[in-house]
Amino acid sequence: MVRRIVVKAIGGFEQLQVEEGPAAHEPKSKEVTVVVKACGLNFYDLYVRQGLSPEIQPPCTLGLECSGLVKAVGNEVTSVKVGDKVSVHCPKGGACVEEITVDEDSVILVPNHISFDKAASFTVNYLTAYFSLFHVGGLREGGAVLIHSAAGGVGWAATQLAKTVSNVTVFGTASPHKHELIRQNGVDYPISHDERYSDIVREHRKEGVSIVLDSLSGADFTHSQQLLEPLGKVVLIGARGMLGEETRSMWRILKTWWMTKDISPYTLIVNNCGVAGFNLNELRYTSLQTFRKGWKEVLQKILSNELSPRIDSVWTFNDIVDASKQIANRKNVGKVIIKP
């Protein structure tokens, strides 16, 4: 029997529980069994608990990523061996468990000097930021980026990735007490959530920004489009506005949906701008080779110290409610880790 974090049903924090269940099955020919040492919590896990994920619905085991040691491999596995340290991606959830069996393409070898916490921290956040900025957004030298929630997991990663491109200006929103930290991470102009970020962006860069990394949707989606320079692009990666404070709120869902205005093709053409979306799980399903290549490139940048994941806090499985509140209440700066 192994312990796991489950979401019993759609609802509040009380639906997060630690349960015992069957051990992971023996790996098939192209599968790997991993003893989990650390799991990364993501804002997406809040969507799952409130029933807002189209891909993962309760009852389910929580978690999109973890790290650990390889316990067993199938007879056709070639990329890892027993005893190797790996990061694991679980696009269908299920990462918050003491032991897991996944296909070989769901693991990537990491060096022994990388901690389990760091190995569990980068897959979802850094790959989302990497593909959104470079593949979808086309960030180039001399550009500018507006990152909503710059102190969160994706925002922290996006800031560092943007700064790997020469002469890029980063605007980032965050609570005032987080401004110094995001400035140290590379944000040139920290902006409070209650400030009119459009005015501040225009004050410092009249032409607007090259990319808006939008995790909010709703009215902010329209504001984001209005901030684009010619040939700029909004990349939509979430709909934070739909989340209730603890439980699902149909009012917030409908309000966000209503205020996320339709896109006018004519407006896009006239203004020379674009709107796109990005979903890491969907990319994994539809373009595995691209996903794996990006995964390796991000890991290499971490190993070369171009990127540096920040661990906000570390919790145990028994602390899952408090760990989730750390994210839900916007207390975290960087990654929240939870351990068996």
pLDDT per residue of the chain (340 residues) written in tens, 0 to 9 = 999 999 999 999 999 999 999 999 999 999 999 999 999 999 999 989 998 888 899 999 999 999 999 999 999 999 999 999 999 999 999 999 999 999 999 999 999 999 999 999 999 999 999 999 999 999 999 999 999 999 999 999 999 999 999 999 999 999 999 999 999 999 999 999 888 899 999 999 999 999 999 988 767 778 888 899 999 999 999 876 656 666 666 656 565 665 666 777 888 888 889 999 999 999 999 999 999 999 999 999 999 999 999 999 999 999 999 999 999 999 999 999 999 9
Segments forming the whole domain that contains residue 35:
2-121+309-339
Domain shared by 61 and 139, yes or no: no
Residue 182 belongs to domain with CATH number: 3.40.50.720
Count of the separate structural domains present in the chain: 2
Pick the closest to residue 178 from 46, 312, 44, 45 (CA basis). 312
Which residue(s) pair with 337 in the sheet?
40, 314
Domain shared by 95 and 110, yes or no: yes
Q: What pLDDT score was predicted for residue 244?
A: 60
> Does residue 299 belong to any structural domain of this protein?
no
Domain shared by 9 and 45, yes or no: yes
H/E element, 283:
helix 280-286
CA distance 41 to 119: 13
Domain shared by 185 and 321, yes or no: no
The helix/strand/coil state of 168 is coil
Domain shared by 129 and 268, yes or no: yes
Domain shared by 268 and 327, yes or no: no
Q: What pLDDT score was predicted for residue 240?
A: 67
Q: What pLDDT score was predicted for residue 268?
A: 84
- How far does Cα 319 stand from its chain's mean position? 21
Domain shared by 97 and 141, yes or no: no
Q: What pLDDT score was predicted for residue 222?
A: 81
> Does residue 292 belong to any structural domain of this protein?
no
Q: What pLDDT score was predicted for residue 32?
A: 98
Domain shared by 11 and 92, yes or no: yes
Cβ(335)–Cβ(310) under 8 Å? Answer: yes
Domain shared by 261 and 141, yes or no: yes
> Does residue 326 belong to any structural domain of this protein?
yes
Domain shared by 226 and 90, yes or no: no
Cα dist. 144→59, 157, 213, 259, 334 in Å? 42, 16, 11, 26, 22
Cα maximum dimension of the chain: 61
Residue 60 belongs to domain with CATH number: 3.90.180.10
Domain shared by 33 and 12, yes or no: yes
Q: What pLDDT score was predicted for residue 220?
A: 78
Which residue(s) pair with 108 in the sheet?
87
